[in-house]
Amino acid sequence: MRSALGALAALAAAAIVFTVATRDPEDPRSVALVVVAFAVLVAALAVRTLAGPTPRRSRSGAIAPAALRRGLLAGLVAGGLAFLRAIDGLTPITAALLVLAFLAAEYVLSARGVRSRR
């Protein structure tokens, strides 16, 4: 899984470089491709970073679900900010609202359930 994340990040970076080098920057499809590839790149790198090094003695090198969730949220925030920048909608207020919405989602998703004593 960890090598797949590296390959995904490399593929996303290659898509960004290819699109920027060969496509018209005014084309909406080119902008959309760069924004999506940027979000995938950030998500893959965030998951890889949050997963930590590969364990030496573990039978499976599985990545914790919390690392996957937080990496995906980081990619979504980066993609959302890039999208807002592309449509000239990025202001400090909209950026703060987007980040706060995803922080609230992470807070709710990471809360542990409380068992009843009854």
More confident site: 81 or 60:
81
The rounded distance, in Å, linking the Cα atoms of 33 and 14 is: 12
Domain boundaries, the chain: 2-110
The rounded distance, in Å, linking the Cα atoms of 81 and 73 is: 12
Q: What is the pLDDT of residues 1-24, one digit of tens each?
A: 778 999 999 999 999 999 999 999
Residue 59, pLDDT above cutoff 70: no
Q: What is the pLDDT of residues 77-117, one digit of tens each?
A: 999 999 999 999 999 999 999 999 999 999 998 887 767 66
pLDDT confidence of residue 58: 65
The rounded distance, in Å, linking the Cα atoms of 48 and 70 is: 11
Residue 48, pLDDT above cutoff 70: yes
Q: Mean pLDDT across the stretch 40-56?
A: 90
* Whole-prediction pTM: 0.86
The rounded distance, in Å, linking the Cα atoms of 52 and 50 is: 5
Q: Mean pLDDT across the stretch 17-43?
A: 95
> Within 13 Å and on the Cβ side, how many CA atoms surround 20?
10
User: Residues 88, 31: contact at Cβ < 8 Å?
Assistant: no
